[in-house]
Amino acid sequence: MTEDTQGGKRKHQRLWLAAAVVTAILAVVVVPPLVSVSRYKASITHLISASLGRPVRLSSVEVRLLPRPGFVLNDLTVEEDPAYGAEPVLHASTVTAPIRLLSLWRGRLEIDKISVDEASLNLVRTAGGRWNLDQLLRTATTESAAAGQTRPVKLPYLEATSSRINIKNGAEKLPFSVIDADISFWQENPGEWRVRLRGQPVRTDISLNLADTGIVRLEATMHPAAQLRQMPVHLDLEWREAQLGQLTRLILGSDSGWRGDLTGELHLDGNADTAQIKTRLRASGVHREEFAPAAPLDFDANCGFVSHFSARAIDNLVCDSPLGNGHVRIAGDLPGGGQPHFSVELDRIPVAAGLDALRTVRSGMGPGLEAYGSASGKITYTPVAPDNAAQDSAKKPAHVDKAHSSKVHATVQGPLTGSITVDGLELRGNGLSQPIRIPKVVLEPSPATQTQGASLPQALTATVSLAAGGQGPLTVSTRLAVSGYQVTVRGPASIARARELAHVAGMGQVAAFDALAGEPITMDLAAEGPWMPAQRLPFGGPPPAAQASSAIPPLASADSVSGTVTLHNANWKADYLANHVQIAQATLHLENGGVRWDPVVFSYGPVKGTASLTVPAVCDGPKPCVPQFQVQFGALDAAVLQAAFLGARQPGTLLSTLLERFRPVSAPAWPQFEGTVKADSLILGPVTLREPLATVRMLANGAEITNLGGGLLGGQIHGTGTLHSAQTAQDKPSYALEGQFEKVSPAALGQLLGMHCSGGALAGGGKIELAGFSGKDLAASAKGTLHFEWQHGTVAGSSGAGTAPKALARFDRWTADGEIANGALTLKQSQVKRGSGSVPVEASVTLADPPKAAFAAPKAAPAGTKAGQAKR
C-alpha cells in the first residue's frame, strides 16, 4: 500500500471519529429535552411495582446519559401490603437506575440495575410466622415461570449500600436493626435468585459499643417452585467478631456478665419442608465478668440436623465438641408437637469446665474456687408412652387398702436413663481452709413420682457425705433438672466450716455467722433456683413442643433458701457492743429471702433475756429494709443493765461506754433497727417500773422512743423520748422525755417520800431534758416542767426536811405546776382547796436516792380574807 493510500485512510478515520464525537455531543444537548420524562416515570413506576409486587411511588425522574445512560429516581417509596402494616417496606431518597441500550432499539425500556444508598427496609413478621418478603419472592417466582411465554420486563438486579434494616413483629417495631447494610438481590439465571447481605446488628433502645456486636454476612440462592414453601434454598450465614457481653445486651437487653469472643456459622440446603442444616459455634475466652480463670472456657461445637420449618421439627440432631481433654456429644430428635428424645454423652469432661459453665450462667460463685476431677457417662431421654403407665397401674394388687394407697407415692418409669460419674472431685481455694474431697459422685435419674393431683418429674440426683467438723457427717443431696437445681444440706458442722461452705456457695444470708463462735451447729437447709433468670426473647414465647411438654416446669424467677440453723452454747461479738453475747440456744430461720432469729436465749453479763430479730427481704417503698427486733427480760435493775451493756469508763459513769459508742469518731455506729423491749420489772433507783414496754427506733445520730409505757407507783405512765448522741469529744449526749401519768397511788408516793399519804389517785404530766454521762451530771442538768392534780387526799408526817403543812392534812383538790432545775423539783403554782377556801403550798423535791421533800412555812393570811377568818 502506497503512502498516499495510507494517509487517505487515516484521514477518513479521523473524519468518522470527529463525526461520532459531534453526534454524541448533539445527543447530549438535543436528546434529553426530546425525551418524555413523564412517559418513562409511569413506565418505571409500573416496572418496579410489577417486579416487587407492591405499589410504588416516585416524586420525580431525571435522565442521565453519562457515565452510563439511565434514570435518577427521587424519593422512592415501596408501599407495604396492608396485611403486614401501614409503614412502607422500603424508602430511599435517591435511586439510580441504568438502562439497557439494546432494549431501546427493540422499542422497550429495560432497567439493568437499581442502586440505592442509605435506604430503610422494614422486615415484618406476623403472628402466624409469615414474613412480608414472602410475597416478593412469590412474585419473582411467578414472573420467572412466565418468562418463556410473555417475557415481561423484569428487575434483574437490586442493590443497597449503607442502608438500614428494621425488624417488626406485626405492628410493633422491635429494637433490633441491621445498620451499615450492603444488600444485593438479583436474578442469576431465569428463575434463580441470589441474595447477598453484609451488616452490623444493633439494638436501638440501649447504648451499645457497636464495634463489639460483630458483623453478619449472608449469601443465599433460591430456585423457582410451584409453592413458596417448596422453593429450594441454599444459604450461608456467618456472624463474626461478636463479644459475648455486647451480644447478650443485644439479644436480652441487659449484660448478663459474660465475656469472650464468639463466631457462628450456619449452612442450609433445602426448603421450608425439609432442610439440611450444619452449624458451627466457636467461642474463646468465655468467663464471668467478675472472674478471670487461668484457663477460660473455650469450645468448638459442630452440629448437623434436618429441620422441618413448617412442622417445627428437627431430625437427626448430632452435636460434637471437644472440651478440655474430653469430648461431649449430643444426639436426638425433636418432633413437632411430640415428645423429644435425645442423649448426652460425656467422655472425660473436666469438672473445671462444668464450674466455668456454672459461673457463666450464675453470678456469685466463688471467684477463687478451683475444681479438679472429670465426668464421664451417658444420659438418654426417651419419653414413656402413656399406655405403659396405665399397664403399671393395672398391675397393682386389688387387695391393697384404698386409704393407705392414696398416701403412697406411685413410682412411674421415667424417660431418663443412664448415669454420669464424677471421679476425683476436689474443690480448693476461695477461703476453704481444707479442700473438699469426694472420691466418687454418681448422678442418676430419680424415679418419677406421682401423687393425687401432682407429679414430680425426673431429674439427675446425687447424695454425698462431707466431714464438716461435727460429730457426724454433713449430708448434701442435689437434684439437677433442665429448669434449675435443688440442694438440701442436713447435719452438724462447725461454725467455721459452715461459714466457708456458705461463702463458696455465694449465700449472702449467712453473713451473721461471721461474728459467731462456739459449738457445732445443726443445719437443715434447702436451696433451689433456675440456672438462669427467665428472659423475654424476641418473636414470642417457646415453641409448641415446649408448650406441649408438661415434664419441664417453668423457670423460677430467683433463687430461694429455706430451712433452719440451730446454735447451742455460742457467743457473738459485734463491733458496736462492748462485750460478747453468750447464746445458750438460737434458731435461724431462712424463708422467702428473709432472715429470722427466733428464739434467741442469751445472756450479756448478768443480764439474761430472750430475743427475736427479723430482717425482711422485701419492704414497701424505695428505702432499705429495717431489721425488726423483740427483746424480753425478767426483773431488771437499771444500774446493773447499764453496767453490763455500757460498761464504766471510770467510777460513777455507768453510761459513759455506750454513749461514747454513739460518737462516730470513736467506734462503729449502731445499725438501724426498730422494735420493742419488754421486761417484768425495771428498778430505777428508788422507783420500780412494772412490766415496762418501749418501742425503740435507732437513728443515725441517736435513738427515738416512740412509745413508752409501764406501771409506776400503782398507776400507769405513757411517754415518748429522744436521744441525741455527742457529735464531738467535748459534747455530751442529750435526752428529751415527755409523758403523762395517771392513777398513781398516794400510799406508794408517800412511801417513796417517807410520808403517809392517802386519798384519791394522782394524775398529771411533764417533760424533762437532760445531758451528761453520770447520774450526777444528769440530775444537775435536768430541766423541765411538771403538772399534777390530786383529788381528796391527805398528807401527814415529816420528811426530814420539814413537817407537812396543815393545809395538806385533808383537802379536796391539790393542783400544782412545778419547775425542774438545779437538781430539784420546785412547786411554784401550788394551790390546795378545801371547801370554798384555797391555800398556797410551797414545796420542793430533791432528785436523789431516796428523794427528799421539803415544805416552806405557811405564810400568814391577810386579815379579812376568807383564809384568815377560817384560821381564826
Quick one: pLDDT at residue 75?
87
Q: How confident is the model at residue 323 (pLDDT cuts 50, 70, 90)?
A: confident
Quick one: pLDDT at residue 148?
44
User: 308 and 167 in one domain?
Assistant: no
The answer to whether position 55 is within a domain reads: yes
The answer to whether position 242 is within a domain reads: no
d(CA 529, CA 507): 13
Quick one: pLDDT at residue 872?
38
Neighbour count for residue 28 (Cβ, 10 Å)? 11
Q: How confident is the model at residue 279 (pLDDT cuts 50, 70, 90)?
A: very high
Q: Is the pLDDT of residue 853 over 80?
A: yes
User: 172 and 261 in one domain?
Assistant: no
- CA 618-622-624 angle, to 5 degrees, is 55
Quick one: pLDDT at residue 252?
74
- When comparing pLDDT for 668 and 199, which is higher? 199
User: 198 and 92 in one domain?
Assistant: yes
Burial tier of 271 (Cβ tally within 10 Å: 0-12, 13-18, 19+) = buried
Q: Is the pLDDT of residue 487 over 80?
A: yes
Quick one: pLDDT at residue 214?
86
Quick one: pLDDT at residue 639?
65
Helix (H, G, I), strand (E, B) or coil at 582: strand
Helix (H, G, I), strand (E, B) or coil at 138: helix
Q: What integer best gives the mean pLDDT of the chain?
A: 78
The answer to whether position 235 is within a domain reads: no
Q: In this structure, are residues 708 and 736 in contact, taking their beta carbons and an 8 Å threshold?
A: no
- Domain with 265, as residue range(s), is 253-385+413-447
Report the b/e string of 539-554 with b at 16+ CB within 10 A.
eeeeeebeeeeebeee
d(CA 655, CA 648): 7
The answer to whether position 406 is within a domain reads: no
Q: Is the pLDDT of residue 842 over 50?
A: yes
Name, of 13-17, 349-353, 814-818, the range with top average pLDDT. 814-818
Distances in whole angstroms, Cα of residue 476 to Cα of each of 162, 164, 352, 523, 528: 59, 55, 20, 11, 13
Q: Is the pLDDT of residue 398 over 60?
A: no
Quick one: pLDDT at residue 483?
79
Per DSSP (E only), the strands in 324-382 are: 326-334, 341-350, 369-381
Q: What percent of the chain has pLDDT over 70?
A: 72
Least confident of 7-16, 286-295, 578-587: 7-16
Whose CA is closest to 758, among 748, 767, 773, 768? 748
The answer to whether position 666 is within a domain reads: no
Quick one: pLDDT at residue 552?
33
Neighbour count for residue 107 (Cβ, 10 Å)? 6
User: 529 and 607 in one domain?
Assistant: yes
Quick one: pLDDT at residue 860?
55
Quick one: pLDDT at residue 126?
82
Least confident of 12-16, 181-185, 271-275, 613-617: 12-16
User: 273 and 171 in one domain?
Assistant: no
Q: In this structure, are residues 795 and 755 in contact, taking their beta carbons and an 8 Å threshold?
A: yes
- Over residues 68-97, the pLDDT tens digits come to 777 788 888 888 888 888 888 888 888 887
User: 330 and 186 in one domain?
Assistant: no
The answer to whether position 633 is within a domain reads: no
User: 262 and 193 in one domain?
Assistant: no
Q: How confident is the model at residue 534 (pLDDT cuts 50, 70, 90)?
A: low
Name, of 304-313, 489-498, 592-601, the range with top average pLDDT. 489-498
User: 423 and 285 in one domain?
Assistant: yes
Quick one: pLDDT at residue 726?
62
Q: For the residues 713-742, what does the mean pLDDT come to?
A: 83
User: 433 and 467 in one domain?
Assistant: no
Q: For the residues 188-200, what does the mean pLDDT come to?
A: 84
- Over residues 545-578, the pLDDT tens digits come to 333 333 333 333 467 888 999 999 999 887 767 6
Least confident of 4-8, 375-379, 645-649: 645-649
Q: Is the pLDDT of residue 652 over 90?
A: no
Q: How confident is the model at residue 537 (pLDDT cuts 50, 70, 90)?
A: very low
User: 68 and 36 in one domain?
Assistant: yes
- When comparing pLDDT for 482 and 749, which is higher? 749
| Phi, psi (degrees; rounded to nearest 5) at 792 | 50, 70
Q: Is the pLDDT of residue 414 over 60?
A: yes
The answer to whether position 736 is within a domain reads: no
Q: Point out the domain boundary residue: 398, 426, 447.
A: 447
- Over residues 340-384, the pLDDT tens digits come to 888 999 999 999 888 877 776 666 666 778 889 999 999 998 886
Distances in whole angstroms, Cα of residue 640 to Cα of each of 636, 683, 779, 830: 8, 10, 19, 37
* Sequence-separated (6 or more) residues with CB below 8 Å from residue 864: none
Please give the distance of CA 142 from its chain centroid, rounded to a whole number: 53
Burial tier of 523 (Cβ tally within 10 Å: 0-12, 13-18, 19+) = buried
Q: How confident is the model at residue 42 (pLDDT cuts 50, 70, 90)?
A: confident
User: 426 and 474 in one domain?
Assistant: no
User: 472 and 362 in one domain?
Assistant: no
- Over residues 129-175, the pLDDT tens digits come to 777 877 666 665 555 455 444 444 455 678 889 999 998 888 888 88
Q: How many domains does the chain have?
A: 4
- Over residues 443-468, the pLDDT tens digits come to 999 876 655 555 667 789 999 999 99
Q: Point out the domain boundary residue: 138, 172, 205.
A: 205
Least confident of 45-59, 502-516, 743-757: 502-516
Q: Point out the domain boundary residue: 573, 603, 625.
A: 625
The answer to whether position 845 is within a domain reads: yes
Quick one: pLDDT at residue 6?
60
Least confident of 19-33, 103-117, 669-683: 19-33
Q: For the residues 576-591, what does the mean pLDDT come to?
A: 85
| Phi, psi (degrees; rounded to nearest 5) at 106 | -90, 0
